[in-house]
Every structure is written in structure tokens, then in C-alpha cells.
Amino acid sequence: MTEITKYTDITKLDDLPEAVQRFILHWGDMGTTWGVNRTVAQIHALLFIMETPLNAEQITDCLGVARSNVSNSLKELLAFKTIRRVPVAGDRRDFFTAETDVWEVAKRIAAVRKAREIDPALETLTYCLAAAEGDSNVTQEQRNRLKDMQDFTATMDRWYEQMQSVPTSTLTKLISMGDRVVGLLNIGRKKN
């Protein structure tokens, strides 16, 4: 691990350029729509956009949030593996920096979301289907709907696993081919 020898002195969010402020605030708003605490998302955005590491006190001062909230948020981001601790020469405090490869960030967040949402959903659907088989009060249509939901969830789970092994360069090419694939398959075109 390399030692960092400098860090940024920032005081308040208002001291940052307007574009940076807006990014941090918007990322916090987006985080809430994704089920992530606003402060967690804002801290991630702050660490992502800053070019040098920050310590918890700097984050607290900049965002104007409680120190305990910052500590808990940093723990969550460390668990997501979207940030990491970095040493700063001559300073015993913990400093943090974010992963800046947006594809890697997306993969790491997807892994956490899968573990929190998809895995339990798949487990529950499997249980529900097994329980429904022996229950005469569950209609065949209800069983079919449970099976459809389980099949869909299992397909998305397999797709996620497959995408994790695709190199980023290939994944970007695959995604950029979207328009051409849709055109080739003649999907989504309005019929006159």
C-alpha cells in the first residue's frame, strides 16, 4: 500500500465549486431512491469527486452532518468496497478515498444489492413454491405466478453472475451495441 503524502483542506460544501456541490447533493438524492442512506451516498460522492483523501472530521465539516453519522456511513461504504482507507504521512487519523473506476463501483454496488435483495427474494420464492405445492388453498394460477416470478428472479441472478465475469472493456462494447441489437431484431420500432 502506498503512503499518501498530501490531502485537501476543505471546510464547507459551499467552498466547493457549484458543479461539485450539485453532484454531491444529487448523488445523495439518488441514493435515497436506491435504498441507500442520503449521507452514505453524499459521502461516497464527496470521496469520489475529491482528488485527495479526506478524514472523517473533514467529511463531517464539509457535509455538516453528525460525526457518528459519518462513522457509520464510512463503515457501510467500506463494506460495499467502494471506498478504502489510505495512510497519510505524519497523520495518525484514518483517511479515505473512493474507487474512481465507475464500472468497478457499479459492480461492487450490484454485488451488495444482489446479496441484500435478489438472494433473499430467490430463497423466499423457492420456499413459497415448495409450500404452495402441498397447500390446497393455493390456486394453480397463484402457483403459476410464483413460478413465473421465481423463473424471472433466477434468470436475473444467472445474468448477474455471467456479467460479473465479463471484462469491463467487453461490457462497455456490449452495452454500446444495444441500439444496433434492437435495430437488428426490429424491436421497439413504431409501426406506421
pLDDT of residue 132: 96
Q: What is the pTM of this model?
A: 0.77
The strands making up 54-55's β-sheet, listed across from edge to edge, are 54-55, 91-98, 83-88
The full set of domain ranges for the chain reads 13-98, 102-165
pLDDT of residue 3: 54
DSSP assignments along 20-42, one per residue: HHHHHHHHHHHHHHTT--HHHHH
pLDDT of residue 15: 86
pLDDT of residue 171: 85
pLDDT of residue 152: 96
Q: What 3-state class would DSSP assign to 6?
A: coil
Q: 54 or 182, which is more confident?
A: 54
d(C-alpha 43, C-alpha 48), whole Å: 8
The residues near 87 (Cβ < 8 Å, ≥ 6 apart) are: 1, 3, 4, 95
pLDDT grade, residue 12 (50/70/90)?
confident
> Which CATH fold would you assign to the domain 13-98?
Arc Repressor Mutant, subunit A (1.10.10)
Q: How does pLDDT run across 119-175, given as a tens digit for each residue?
A: 999 999 999 999 999 899 999 999 999 999 999 999 999 999 988 888 988 888 888
d(C-alpha 47, C-alpha 45), whole Å: 6
